[in-house]
Chains A and B, each alone.
Chain A
Amino acid sequence: DSGVTQTPKHLITATGQRVTLRCSPRSGDLSVYWYQQSLDQGLQFLIQYYNGEERAKGNILERFSAQQFPDLHSELNLSSLELGDSALYFCASSVAKGSGTGELFFGEGSRLTVL
């Protein structure tokens, strides 16, 4: 158990809909990262937050947004869903913004299926 909790574990929805994925980081971790894992694209970095502020942005679509709340949990919002958004979405956390150890602790993922 990594200590990172993601909900829901599975989600099935229709094209055009909007969903919210939730992540609770490990106790004490200030950084939260979102990754998308799909069969054809591998593991893609989406966005990082540190203590409530956006720190780094990757290949995140404009239809997607995220935020980190004062209690440090994070949400990833996916809107106007398309078939190609079907993927496993991982949240990860780490203790600091720049310790350089590179150890991210991953949740078990939220599997999104868009029909």
Chain B
Amino acid sequence: GDSVTQMEGPVTLSEEAFLTINCTYTATGYPSLFWYVQYPGEGLQLLLKATKADDKGSNKGFEATYRKETTSFHLEKGSVQVSDSAVYFCALSDGTGFQKLVFGTGTRLLVSP
């Protein structure tokens, strides 16, 4: 079945460092890809998305490009802030139209001042 693989965490960075969190997927059909973020004590919220190959999703300085050839959707940010500390989940939709999302295991990001 469909699956998402994320890099293990935690990722520990200093403020203003460059961030990459790797995500690869396995899917049949043409899934849409997403990054969700979970701040401490909160539910998940959508960070960005891409619905077809070569699309770039972006939000709050974060970017990810849908790469069909490498089945990847890596999350990047040029300069992280302490407030970016959270757990980041890569996810795909199964393409059936029912919006059931398959999530990766999550990557915890810790940013220190």
Residues of A within 8 A of B (CB): 2, 4, 31, 33, 35, 42-43, 45, 48, 50, 55-56, 58, 90, 92, 94, 97-109
Contact = CB atoms under 8 A, between A and B. Distances in A.
Q: Which 7 residue pairs across A and B have the least CB separation, nearest first? A: A98-B97, A106-B43, A42-B105, A43-B103, A106-B44, A102-B93, A56-B100
Given A103-B49, A108-B41, A108-B43, A42 B106 contact: yes
Interface in B77-100: 89, 91, 93, 96-100
Contact of A42 (B42, B99, B103): B103
Given A100-B93, A102-B32, A109 B43 contact: yes
B27 interface: no
Q: Is the interface of B mostly helix, strand, loop or mixed?
A: loop
Contacts of A2: 43, 45
Size class of the contact patch on chain B: 20 to 34
Contact of A43 (B32, B51, B89, B99): B89
Given A4-B43, A31-B99, 16 more contacts: A33-B100, A33-B101, A42-B106, A43-B105, A48-B100, A92-B44, A97-B97, A100-B97, A102-B51, A102-B91, A103-B46, A104-B44, A105-B45, A106-B44, A108-B41, A109-B43
Interface of B: 32, 34, 41-46, 49, 51, 89, 91, 93, 96-106
A97 B100 CA distance: 10
A55 B96 CA distance: 11
B46 A98 contact: no
A94 B100 CA distance: 10
A97 B34 CA distance: 18
Contacts of A90: 43-44
Contact of B98 (A4, A35, A42, A98): A98
Contact of A100 (B51, B103, B105): B51
